[in-house]
Amino acid sequence: MTKMLSNKLIITLFIMPGLLFFACFILIPLIYSAFYSFTNYDLLQPYTFIGLDNYKELIRDGDFYHSLWNALLMMLALIFIQHPIAIAAGMFAQYLGRGEKAIRAVYFLPTIIGVVVGSMVWSSIFSTQFGLLNHLLDIVGLESWQHDWLGDPKTAIWCIILVSMWCGFGYAFLLYYTGLKGIPADLHEAAKLDGASNFQIHTLIDLPMLKPIIKVNVILAVIASLKMFDITKLMTNGGPFKSTHMPLTYMYEEAFSLNRYGYGNAVSITFVVICLLVTFAMNKMMKSEEGEA
């Protein structure tokens, strides 16, 4: 009995720091955020309780829906563009022999550079007057293609997505590359003895073996698209005309730039609910696939 109580006490002591951290930095702020979402709090004057007015306004807010649409575009681009390229890059690296280490470093370079420096570099590349992209178009005689890439709502969001894929490419490549290295060489040798081509080996052996890693990378892509903030904030600050806002940058602007703290909290609580629904849906999908397997 004494030993059992001692074990429970030890377990409690180990769990307590994590619980305190969760309560202080996640649970309590979330409760405060939910409370202020029902007020007109603006940090400058006493707040009043306004019920569901913030949420009613949010339902009619086209800018919020547009930020969700941008997050969806980001998610699809990461899953269907970045990841296939990362898989192909991992396969290509295996054929380079001595150059494999060098190409690994090149692929991982965007991650080493970091988001802040990377965003600044790409902002200068997309610059209208002095940008490298417009300069190259001028050199090759395509002056008509020159554009205000970050100043046009139609192209700015795609620039943000491109930079996001570039910055996160290193991690995606590393996961797929490690997974490919973990595939037993005996499988490849047996397939070659049976007359399989390299294309057949990659499609019929490598890709099925990468399925668990693909699932992990899909989850990471969803998380990255939902929590996207820094690249958008650094490159466009949500502009032009709020066309590149992600949910987090939109919430930040409403709460701190426009001083609408109550409405910003309503945006954050709604976004938390959306994230929970997405997490629940993904868990259901993963479990159903495991059941079928």
Chain segment 244-278, per-residue pLDDT in tens: 999 999 999 999 999 999 999 999 999 999 999 99
For residue 150, what pLDDT band results from cuts at 50, 70 and 90?
very high
CB 263 within 8 A of CB 255: yes
The DSSP letter of residue 237 is: T
Closest to 110 measured CA to CA, from 248, 237, 219, 231 = 231
- Distance, CA of 124 to chain centre: 23
d(CA 238, CA 260): 17
77: pLDDT strictly greater than 80: yes
Chain segment 195-220, per-residue pLDDT in tens: 888 889 889 899 999 999 999 899 99
d(CA 249, CA 67): 9
Chain segment 15-35, per-residue pLDDT in tens: 888 889 989 988 999 999 999
The single residue listed with the structure tokens 């429970």 is 8
The proportion of the chain whose per-residue pLDDT surpasses 90, expressed as a percent, equals 64
What SS3 class is residue 39? strand
**Mean pLDDT over residues 51-65, rounded?**
96
Cα angle 236, 251, 222; round to 5: 80
**Mean pLDDT over residues 26-54, rounded?**
91
In single-letter form, the type of residue at position 268 comes to S
Chain segment 183-196, per-residue pLDDT in tens: 888 888 898 888 88
Domains of the chain: 37-288 (1.10.3720.10)
Q: How much of the chain is helix, strand and coil, in % rounded to 5? A: 80, 0, 20
pLDDT number for residue 1? 56
The pTM of the full predicted model, rounded to 2 decimals, is 0.90
CB 168 within 8 A of CB 75: no
Closest to 248 measured CA to CA, from 228, 265, 234 = 228
Peptide bond into 240 cis (omega under 30): yes
Listing DSSP states for 94-125 in one string gives TT-GGGHHHHHHHHHHHHHH-HHHHHHHHHHH
